[in-house]
Amino acid sequence: MDLCRLTIHEAHNLLTRKDITSVELTSAVFDRIGQVEDMVGAYITLVQDQAMAQAAGADEMIRQGKGGPLTGVPVAIKDVLCTEGIRTTCGSKILENFIPPYSATVVRKLKEAHAVIVGKTNMDEFAMGSSTEHSAIKVTRNPWDLTRIPGGSSGGSAAAVAADECIGAIGTDTGGSIRQPACHCGVVGLKPTYGAVSRFGLVAFASSLDQVGPIAKDVTDCAILMNGICGYDPNDSTSVPRDVPDYTRGLRAGLKGLAVGIPAEYFAAGVDEDVAQALSDAITVIEGLGATCKSVSLPHTEYAVAVYYLIAPAEASSNLARYDGVRYGFRDKEAEELIRMYSDTRSKGFGSEVQRRIIIGTYALSAGYYDAYYGKASRVRTLIMQDFNKAFETCDVLLAPVAPTPAFRLGEKLADPLAMYLSDIFTLPASLAGIAGISVPCGFSKDGTPIGLQILSKHFDEEKIIRVAYSFEQATDFHTKMPNL
Amino acid sequence: MKITKKEVVHVAKLARLDLDEEAIDTYTGQLEDILTYMDTLNRVDTRDISPTSHAIFISNAFREDEVKPSISVESALANAPRSENGSFVVPKVIG
């Protein structure tokens, strides 16, 4: 048995039965990393010694009968979440040597659950991108086809899960950065409702949109990881105080009587033929499971790209003002005067996509343009939210593609930022509305690259999309397919 | 024309970014395309629509004002490019 291929729930059963130890499991994961990481490039930093020590500690917990669902399970963390004592780069040269003095709440929770932290995964710089190509550190390749992008910005986490270089992973999603790489890498990714998971210790990109969530090999694992990271955190003032459900509890409740909406705007022209076919087949499967599907309209969908690419850069331009070479990160040491030091540091420290977004955001917020750009976008955002509210009056969940095409080739959209932005069209609306969304494998293109089904729910209805995703997964075999590395 | 080179230079200066000639040309062209695309928003009537800045309704998140442990001066300074006597050191501000 190749232990690195196990899911979290399979590993947990074997660990609890003492059939395997976490030390064996963690060693198997690092062996796998040794075999495939040169090809995939999922990780920025690996912490093997620390991981082996955590595994030994987890084994001791299990021996004492104190293990939980994540005890001894090797997980990968996107390099945008602070890890005390472990370098956290955000995929940026400006934070290349930053060692956080504290851990993000999500990381702390995973440590308290005695999960094993394998390392920090690659990402687009400051999570700005859809392909992980904007990382200043390295290239990550799609495990299914090494000439293609893994998606982004959580491309390293999704690729690590798909390539069995970890058992589960954590990503973040601002405009699709969990759902889209999960889709392209053939794994499961959940973007929770805004406010469901603490953002404390998550390096900020766009604060009204950023959300942390799991990327996993199957839906059950996704629910287990979500249980491990969610919940109110007084350190995050946008975290929502509420009772947290056990997300694994309703997995098998079935789909009988469920009202499923198919938003017409997500199936219009521009969707790749293979994606359209896979989605149509998926809808048939879900109807066959007892759900009732009906067409709905989200009329402001087409404006989501424009709204998002004004609001997110506006928030980013403000958030990234903190990188000034004073308190942490890179400083250009040649400048002899303060203002010069700021601009030399920022110009040399930030990559081109980050600089582009800072300029767009600063422009959209500047005197004379604020109302026309940021103000207008914030109003259309209200209309996008109202579209969803209306749809959820009559539907439990919505089904949609995650991305209009399968993973594109490395380099294909790098010179044309607008083309890259437009590829996010199907994930942005849910981000702007703050609702929950999951991506689950639903097919393959003719070239053999994975296609994902996106399931959306209203705020804090994650249990429902997890249930639909689980029922669909159990009725199909896409999640059992592995990339041939 | 949506944006000129002069405006790109001005906005970059506001954001404390120092662009070379090549970058100014590239960003001006790309921003022209991007801002032209943003004009699609003008097709939407938003006269009676209030703006959204936050997707979840939360009113003020208050907490008790309690003294709690925080990170030490040493660890706060550990990542500083330059520090001295418990302070961050920056280039001179006044000539």
Mean pLDDT of A347-370: 96
Q: pLDDT averaged over chain A? A: 97
CA distance A445 to A60: 45
Q: How confident is the model at residue B59 (pLDDT cuts 50, 70, 90)?
A: confident
How large is the C-alpha radius of gyration of chain B?
A: 23
**Under DSSP, is residue B83 helix (H, G, I), strand (E, B) or coil?**
strand
- Residue A205 in contact with residue A316, Cβ under 8 Å? yes
Q: Return the CATH number of the domain spanning residue range A1-485.
A: 3.90.1300.10
Give A46's strand partners: A119
CB contact under 8 A, A309 and B18: no
Per-residue model confidence as pLDDT tens digits over A148-207: 999 999 999 999 999 999 999 999 999 999 999 999 999 999 999 999 999 999 999 999
Q: Which residues of A are catalytic?
A: 78, 153, 177
My answer on whether omega of the bond before B70 falls inside 30° of 0, hence cis, is no
Q: What is the pLDDT of residue A171?
A: 98
CB contact under 8 A, A380 and B46: yes
- Residue B83 in contact with residue B77, Cβ under 8 Å? yes
CA distance A146 to A408: 11
A307, A336, A363: best mutation site toward chain B, by most B Cβ within 10 Å?
A363
Name the A residues in 151-190 with CB < 8 Å from any B CB.
none
Mean pLDDT of A260-287: 95
Give B22-61 as a DSSP string: HHHHHHHHHHHHHHHHHGGGGGS--TTPPP-S-SS-----
Q: How confident is the model at residue A270 (pLDDT cuts 50, 70, 90)?
A: confident
- pLDDT of A42 strictly over 90: yes
- pLDDT of A82 strictly over 90: yes
- pLDDT of B95 strictly over 70: no
- pLDDT of B60 strictly over 90: no
- pLDDT of A5 strictly over 70: yes
- Residue A22 in contact with residue A62, Cβ under 8 Å? yes
CB contact under 8 A, A363 and B76: no
CA distance A353 to A418: 11
How large is the C-alpha radius of gyration of chain A?
A: 21
CA distance A222 to A228: 10
Mean pLDDT of A64-85: 97
| CATH number belonging to the domain at B5-43, selected among 1.10.20, 1.20.120, 1.10.3470, 2.10.25 | 1.10.20
CB contact under 8 A, A380 and B41: yes
- How far does the CA of residue B56 sit from the closest CA of chain A (Å)? 7
Per-residue model confidence as pLDDT tens digits over A12-23: 999 999 999 999
Mean pLDDT of B54-63: 85
CB contact under 8 A, B91 and A325: no
Burial of A396 (0-12, 13-18, 19+ CB in 10 A): buried
**Which chain A positions have a beta carbon within 8 Å of B76's beta carbon?**
101, 327
Q: What is the pLDDT of residue A414?
A: 92
**Which chain A positions have a beta carbon within 8 Å of B34's beta carbon?**
309, 360, 417-418, 421
**Chains A & B: contacts with CB separation below 8 Å:** 169
A339, A379, A457, A459: best mutation site toward chain B, by most B Cβ within 10 Å?
A379
- pLDDT of B62 strictly over 90: no
Mean pLDDT of A388-407: 98
Q: What is the pLDDT of residue B63?
A: 85
Alpha helices by DSSP H, A320-461: 338-349, 352-365, 376-394, 417-422, 428-433
- Which chain B residue has its CA at the smallest distance from A373's CA? B38
**Under DSSP, is residue A184 helix (H, G, I), strand (E, B) or coil?**
helix
Domain ranges of chain A: 1-485
Percent of chain A whose predicted confidence (pLDDT) is above 70: 100
Q: What is the pLDDT of residue A390?
A: 98
Per-residue model confidence as pLDDT tens digits over A421-437: 999 999 999 999 999 99
Lowest mean pLDDT among A153-162, A259-268, B57-66: B57-66
